[in-house]
Amino acid sequence: MTCKVLHLLTGDLWAGAEVVTYELLAELVKYNDIKLYAVVFNQGVLADKIKALGIQTYVFSEQDSLYRQFINIYKAVKGLNIDIIHSHKFKEDFISVLLSMLCKIPYLIRTIHSLHGITKTHTGFKYYKSKLFSFINWFILKIFFNRIIAVSEDIKKHYAKLYLDKKLVVVRNAINVEKVYPAKLKEEIKQELSLDKDSFVIGSAGRLVPIKGYDVFLKMAKIILDRNPNVVFVLVGDGPLLGDLKALAGSLGITNSVRFIGYKNDIYNYLNMMDIFVLASLSEGIPSIILEAAALKIPIVSTAVGGIPEILKDNVSARLVQAGDEKLLAQVCMGLVDDYKYAKKLADTAKNNILENFDIKKTVYKIKEVYSSLLE
């Protein structure tokens, strides 16, 4: 019996959640007992990549009204006899419920990729608005959804407190390790960025948004540069904070030692060029960028937030620090600069852990178990 699964996704970004979801679909499509469909909001990298997998994909613009979006989706999927809708965000949850009712789709699954929307702090009207949305989301998940997939134990604990524990299952994010390799040498990328071939590079990568803590990263850079002016800092990624972060680098007097290189398709080339990878996030699920850095055997310094301690252990496979403390972050990074042999030892352990516990094939097996548990 073939299980028909419709994934509802938002695709205007190509970031952590989108990357891991694509890798999941790329493996699931190989199985003959699963027929995949996808509804993607907004044309972008994700929609193009899913189409390239041979998955029947419907793309709708969020510029249309929510009513028009739903009508178009309903017309597209009403005759497909879908067994399971697999949703990935709040708006998709709402649409999933309506589709399940009108198209008689029996099962709904939601993957919770992070707690970002929950951990944001608001004041005034925005505070009450966020509380209202959180309550509506909880109600929808509680009443209508059959399974809730948490990508980390940390996320599971949060939702278990909301009396959703019977529906929860942990399936950690993973990557296709075989695909994580650089196409260029370190020296080529350094030359491209006009860096000295012997320069020591501390870098980070991701969407330039507040939750990622890039202001802390830059303040850390200032502390390190006061001690070691030969270190270079590289930020890979784009986002709404780009202008603010450049201004902060200027006010700190470190502009000449920081490279903002924007979004890159060939991210592995730029990760591989780094001597230390730093993640200064205030909140995370299981970030794919950490998995990729570990797979490339780059020494990692990260904040111990969300699901990161489930991937890395302090002084075993990385160095972990509390969030928001640029002085501690700088101290730990300088320790690895001074003892880089130890840093590489941590990186070797991290790579082995990724191979053993965070390969995409194990995640796909668990997802298939979730689908099967509903149909049986």
Distance between CA atoms of residues 89 and 85, nearest Å: 12
> How far apart, in whole angstroms, are the C-alpha atoms of residue 322 and residue 279?
11
Note whether 26 and 40 are same-domain residues: yes
Residues 129 and 196 in one domain: no
* The overall pTM is greater than 0.85: yes
The verdict on 229 and 280 lying in the same domain is yes
3-state secondary structure of 303: strand
Per-residue model confidence as pLDDT tens digits over 262-280: 999 899 999 999 999 999 9
**Number of structural domains in the chain:** 2
Range of the domain at 317: 177-357
Q: What is the pLDDT of residue 114?
A: 84
Residues 317 and 231 in one domain: yes
The pLDDT of residue 13 is: 78
Tens digits of per-residue pLDDT, 226-247? 999 999 999 999 999 999 999 9
Within this chain, do residues 259 and 117 fall inside the same structural domain, yes or no?
Answer: no
**Angle CA 272–273–274, to nearest 5:** 90
Please work out, in degrees rounded to the nearest 5, the angle formed at the alpha carbon of residue 288 by the alpha carbons of 283 and 291.
Answer: 110
Confidence class for position 251, pLDDT limits 50, 70, 90: very high
pLDDT in tens, 88-126: 988 899 999 999 999 999 999 999 998 865 545 556 677
Q: Do 156 and 193 fall into the same domain?
A: no
| CATH code for the domain of 280 | 3.40.50.2000
Q: How far is CA 359 from CA 110, 173, 292, 352, in A?
A: 21, 9, 11, 11
Compute the 3-state secondary structure of the chain and give helix, strand, coil in percent, each to the nearest 5. Answer: 50, 20, 30
Same domain, 37 and 115: yes
